[in-house]
Structure 1
Amino acid sequence: MTNTNAETQQLGPIRQWIKDHPTIWEFIVFNVLSNISTIARFVVTWIGTAVFVAGLGLTAPFHFLIFNYPESGNGLGGFLTFLFAEVIAQVVNFFVQMKWVFKSDSSFKDAAWKYAILAVVIVVVNLVLPGYVTSLCQGWGLNAGLAGTIASVVNTVLAVVVSYPLLKFWIMPKNKDAKASDAE
């Protein structure tokens, strides 16, 4: 795309770069604003670990179907911690992504059921994985809080890799008019 010098000066170099690279900018905004749900996930993980593991001592092994939270993975308390953390993070993320990142004009009900499917997949994976990651980290000598934080980081990275393309193209696509104006 060729821009005149006057256009570049009027927009400024950063805004011009954003205009010239809307998809890259959207991915950057997606990652930056995803941190709102990531912060929610971490806060709930820390609170849950303090309440369920340290406070209530719910560290008895928890094994149900695909979920495996041995005592070294904080047991039932670890499972409850990650369950609450994931549910809160996914609710926060839905609204952030729909309204601020993708600025989707999809109807709430059309996007919500699709997001619910994605969220269930993410939540199940993010509930299965932490038991193993936490146990591994504690086996390396890390404390419960740090092990839980590392498990949350692993969950977050995995969620980004899976969710961005699904959100952009399936759950929260822009209508054709919005796509045409973005391409200009």
Structure 2
Amino acid sequence: MKGIKNWISEHPNIWEFILFNVLSNVATVVNFAVMWICTGFVFSSLNRTPFRFLIFNYTNVESDLGLCGFASFLMATACAQTVNFFVQKNFVFRSNAAFAQAVPKYICLAVVLVIVSAALPAYSQTLLVNTGIPQGVVPTLANIVNILVQVVLSYPTMKFWIMPKQ
């Protein structure tokens, strides 16, 4: 245990990144749970309804689940981001940044993440289906792609802009 504590104190930035990724799994669990509930039940009646608006292209209902896919990914990302804010602020960055100043910045990040996460699956799901991946696992794999993109965008933004140590 002492060796781990020494390593953490010698490598605080690496430890913070590890902790960020490990504790992001709380939001990841929320994301998957909401996505599965929404695609399987809440919005399932919309899986044959094409949807297109600006960059959101869910018109290939065979591969992207149409409006069901869009609404499910949107809902999953929004719920996960809400959970993630509190986990990251309190446990990873242990930020003392003022809540009133951090929340609007995080909302900006969350909007970017929601836009990316709602737009990307239509394209990634089509790509995955076209590579021969079975339709049953395509939404899950598309969600994994979404989560990886979110980590790449989120960590530096939270660390240096939203939740810096004061």
Please, what TM-score do these two structures have when normalized by structure 2? 0.93
List runs of 5+ in structure 1 lacking aligned partners: 1-10, 176-184
Q: Is the 8 A contact 1:41 1:88 kept in 2?
A: yes
Q: Distance in 1 between matches of 2:72 and 2:134?
A: 16
Q: Distance in 1 between matches of 2:144 and 2:33?
A: 13
The 3-state SS of whatever aligns with 2:35 is helix
Q: What residue in structure 2 maps to residue 166 of structure 1?
A: 157
Q: How many residues align?
A: 164
Q: Distance in 1 between matches of 2:55 and 2:13?
A: 37
Q: What residue in structure 2 maps to residue 67 of structure 1?
A: 56
Q: What residue in structure 1 maps to residue 85 of structure 2?
A: 94
Instruction: Trace 1:1-150 onto structure 2 (pairs within 5 A).
Output: 12-52=2-42, 55-70=44-59, 71=61, 72-150=63-141
Q: CA deviation at 1:156?
A: 0.7
1:156 to 147, 155, 159: 147
Q: CA deviation at 1:42?
A: 0.8
Q: CA RMSD in A?
A: 1.5
Q: Distance in 2 between matches of 1:115 and 1:145?
A: 33
Q: Distance in 1 between matches of 2:135 and 2:67?
A: 13
Q: Distance in 1 between matches of 2:30 and 2:77?
A: 9
Question: What amino acid sits opposite 1:12 in the alignment?
Answer: K
The percentage of aligned residue pairs carrying the same residue is: 49
Larger Rg: 1
The 3-state SS of whatever aligns with 1:56 is helix
Map Cα deviations across residues 84-123 of structure 1 (whole Å, 9 max, x no partner): 0010011011010001100000111100000000000011
List runs of 5+ in structure 2 lacking aligned partners: none
Q: What residue in structure 2 maps to residue 5 of structure 1?
A: none
Q: Distance in 1 between matches of 2:110 and 2:46?
A: 29
